[in-house]
Amino acid sequence: MQIKSKEAAENKLVCETKLEKAEPALIDAQNAVQGVTKGNIDEIKNFANPPAAVKLALEPVIALLLNLTKAPDWAAIKAEVKKDKFKESILSFKKESISTKTKNFIV
């Protein structure tokens, strides 16, 4: 039991360290989202098959919002982008809500 507790503590420390490194990027991303307009979001919603850069940029965002452990497909991304509060959900995102598995996937 002590070995598992030690491993869990070590894993937690590794994840927290990774999150600390990623946190400035999260803050930068949230700041960048403030400049996204409804027109920008509408354009994304209308892509049947998005440019690779758009999909690549949105995969980690949606993975974080939905607490996923693998990259979402375009249908899942589009479903989230279509939500009325999509932009607000990013701006109000709480890093504390990220599961360990999602942290490991994202980092």
> What would the pLDDT profile of 32-90 be if each residue is shown by its tens digit?
888 899 999 999 999 999 999 999 989 988 998 999 999 999 999 999 999 999 999 99
Q: What per-residue confidence (pLDDT) applies to 1?
A: 63
Domain of 88: which CATH number? 1.20.920.60
pLDDT band at 96 (very low <50, low <70, confident <90, very high): confident
Q: In the block, which residue shows the tokens 């990623």? A: 22
Q: Which residues does 106 contact at the CB level (< 8 Å), separation at least 6? A: 22, 60, 63, 64, 98
Tokens, residue 70: 């693998």
Q: Is the pLDDT of residue 22 over 70?
A: no
d(CA 71, CA 93): 18
Residue 73: DSSP 8-state: P
pLDDT band at 8 (very low <50, low <70, confident <90, very high): confident
Residue 97: DSSP 8-state: G
Q: What per-residue confidence (pLDDT) applies to 31?
A: 81
**Residue 44's CB: how many other CB atoms inside 10 A?**
19
CA-nearest of 24, 25, 78, 32 to 55 is: 78
Domain count of the chain? 1
Range of the domain at 86: 2-106
